[in-house]
Structure 1
């Protein structure tokens, strides 16, 4: 196979991000016809269909393989441009996937230095949010170059490092306890008690109940609140029992706005940082660390500062 056309790879990445030919063309500042032509040329090079032209469009398995390569090529190009002292193209950015609870607590402070540097040098950072058990899928499919995940094993071609442990505890508002759980949360009443759940991927509440009461696969009365900040606010408003990161709850527990239930029981979630290995000349230049490595280093430092270390 000949060297893959970089313009075609850029089109593939834009299509993966924008999910339409029109928006991809706007992003790349070219016509839709040019996007289609470059994609067809790339498909002819590899002899396979790369994009299913549906609404929204989606990548084939071969397209996902090339997307991983396109993302890495863009990251390497950004590093070279930065090393030369120029500004990165405005549409280019590095995407990483993080879980919502980390984003609501320690990730933003950890990445602040990298983002401020990006404002000066022109590169962009995109944060993709998913459940910590599923962020790894974004990495595998080539949608992102790094992820915070509960998966311990590295993909082939990736690096992995432990970040720390997020401790989840059960809480409720004093008003909710007085009205609904005057005798406390017990094995006899948990099934009738509303539990707040982030989304249908979230099983932290079930894990906590299983650990607290020795019940296998408990069935809960679930109320879904798909935002970390809104989730904690809903617990404060008395919508039900919540199981959330202790790091996020500390000021509310200290002020008495929330009360811990069975504080000796917790769910520990170990987090890991995964990133693709990018082979670049910059690795030999200590004065300039590759951007993806900077992101990983910043997350590791921030995690050590805020998370429990196992």
Structure 2
């Protein structure tokens, strides 16, 4: 058996997506025994264990390396099918990882033309959400073909393009300020009032406090609200202070539902678009942004970000 047999690579990708042999078999419309056999043949041909049979199963480091190759093959097949006018199967998808704040503000408008084209061309677009400091891990492990990330350096075989800067500001409702901050937010009370936090990976509130008051590693009262839309709503309802993107807070600031705290203090987060180089272009040293589904996604995100975000420094 060819070590890089396409059917076996499809099984590996399905196992990574589904997390179990039975769900991978359902996804591929084959038997669980066939999935096991193809994986075993792939591992035998390579002489490496690719999948740890746990619940849920997980890929070994060699498995993650091979998964990256499988994802690139899926994307190239999607391009080829589109160019030949073929209709892709429902399992054909182009997964990319984005941060929740970008998804809630500029990503969907930027991707709308691509998503509409995908409906016509027959490929699926999958958006995977994680913190902007962690989306790059999905790319490194081969789970996605591209990501919006704070990481500047491109992986080998990938390109990286600066998208722009997302600015985060601190806001609260007038009622909250009147009730909990009668003298304003200051060094004596910032540790005693609640701060809205997206999840345990989110440290934007701590970064803002550190910048505003010169306190490193501040210990804060946290209220976790793991939804960007609910984050704004919780701030408007007076649950606590939120540190959120300007674009997200703008409507509530405009109608007085929120007020800015220390408007001169903000946190700027520079975002980058990373994607696998599925083709090369020896005539240019610039990141390759050519035709093809993944390239169209990249171009759309770059154009959308440059309209919605502040320019990257330099």
TM-score, normalised by the number of residues in structure 2: 0.95
1:235 aligns with 2:235: yes
Kindly report which structure 2 residues correspond to 1:75-86, keeping only aligned pairs within 5 A, or say none.
Answer: 75-86=75-86
What's the counterpart of residue 61 of structure 1?
61
- Alpha-carbon distance, 1:292 to partner: 0.7
For residue 294 of structure 2, what is the aligned residue in structure 1?
A: 292
Cα deviation 1:261-293 (Å, max 9, x = unaligned): 001100000000000110279x9xxxx811111
Q: Which residue pairs with 1:29 in the alignment? A: 29
Q: Which runs of 5+ in 2 are unaligned?
A: 284-289
**Structure 1, residues 71-115: CA drift from partner, whole Å, max 9, x if none?**
000100110010101111210101000000000000000000000
Partner residue in 1 for 2:50: 50
Distance 2:302 2:88 in 1: 25
What SS does the aligned partner of 1:292 have? helix
Query: Match for residue 136 of structure 1?
Result: 136
2:115 paired with 1:121: no
Alignment of 1:1-310 (within 5 A): 2-279=2-279, 289-310=291-312
Tell me the CA shift for residue 3 of structure 1: 4.9
**What is the Cα deviation at residue 121 of structure 1?**
1.1
Q: Does structure 1 retain, via aligned residues, the 8 Å contact 2:151–2:272?
A: yes
Q: Is the Cα contact below 8 Å between 1:196 and 1:242 reproduced in 2?
A: yes
SS where residue 209 of structure 1 aligns? helix
Name the SS for the 1:196 alignment partner: strand
Q: In the TM superposition, what whole-angstrom CA distance separates every residue of 1:175-214 from its partner, at most 9, and x where no partner exists?
A: 1111110111001110101101111111100110011111
> What does the per-residue CA deviation read over 1:224-256, in whole Å, with 9 as the maximum and x for residues that have no partner?
111111111111111100000001111110000
Alpha-carbon separation, structure 2, partners of 1:305 and 1:152 = 20
Q: What's 2:287 paired with? A: none
1:110/1:302 contact within 8 Å kept: yes
- For the residues of structure 1 that align with 2:6 and 2:216, how far apart are their CA atoms? 52
Find runs of 4+ consecutive structure 1 residues off by over 3 angstroms.
none
Note if contact 2:164-2:305 (Cα within 8 Å) is conserved in structure 1. yes
Unaligned runs of 5+ in 1: none
8 Å contact kept, 2:3–2:42 = no
SS at match of 2:191: helix
- Aligned to 1:239, what secondary structure does the other structure show? coil
CA distance in 1, matches of 2:41, 2:119: 35
- CA distance in structure 2 between the partners assigned to 1:153 and 1:45 by the alignment: 33
Number of aligned residues: 305
Contact 2:99 2:129 in 1 (8 A): yes
